[in-house]
Amino acid sequence: MVLVIAIVAGAFMPIALDSIEGVRLRSATRDVVSLNRYARARAILDRRPVAVLYDREGGVVELLLLPVQELALGPFLDSPAARLQEDPDFGSDQIERLRRRQLSTHVVVEEVRGAEAVSDTWFVVYTPSGMTDPHTVILRDNRNDRMRIRVNGMTGDITLGDGR
């Protein structure tokens, strides 16, 4: 009886592990989608630009509420995005952190097409009108499965797709 249970468990183990890996990528996708929707809503409601930062090395997606007059991200561009994470006082009088999500250790931000980049961090800015540059976020898990998240810059609509 024990042998039968062990054989059945061994047969289903790879299926269960694949399912867990897929959940991590889907969860990271949901985080990125919800953060983009939240960034757009906050930009409109607060009438201030909101930056979405995608940190490849740290696996972090972060939202920053920016000063109204700083659409060009002046102080932000002068310093790497990592400095914002290392120095909690940097820009504290001008930049407010809204949200921060750590993606699963098994999921990385592979690329953000259509976004500006500083070192290993990409960023897009939602303006007070709710518009942003159209961009595509590509997430990859440790099995090399990918999820493509396309953001329409005019409407904020988000579409999902597998692969590249």
pTM comes to: 0.75
List the domain boundaries for the chain.
2-162
Give domain 2-162's CATH architecture.
3-Layer(bab) Sandwich (3.55)
pLDDT in tens, 26-77: 999 999 999 999 999 999 999 999 999 999 888 899 999 998 754 445 444 4
Res 160: pLDDT? 95
Give the percent of the chain with pLDDT over 90.
Answer: 59
Instruction: Select the more confidently predicted residue: 66 or 9.
Output: 66
Give the percent of the chain with pLDDT over 70.
Answer: 72
Res 69: pLDDT? 59
pLDDT in tens, 68-108: 754 445 444 443 344 444 555 545 567 899 999 999 889 99
Q: Report yes or no: 8 and 129 within 8 Å, Cβ to Cβ.
A: no
Residue partners of 105: CB distance under 8 A and separation at least 6 = 59
Instruction: Select the more confidently predicted residue: 19 or 129.
Output: 129
Structure-block tokens of residue 74: 């002046």
Burial 86-112 (b: 16+ CB within 10 A, else e): eeeeebeeebeebbeeebbeebbbbbb
Binning pLDDT at 50, 70 and 90, where does residue 15 land? low
Q: What is the mean pLDDT of the chain?
A: 82
Give the integer Cα–Cα distance in Å for 112 and 69: 25
Q: Report yes or no: 55 and 119 within 8 Å, Cβ to Cβ.
A: no
Give the integer Cα–Cα distance in Å for 81 and 51: 11
Alpha helices in the chain (DSSP H): 2-46, 74-77, 81-86
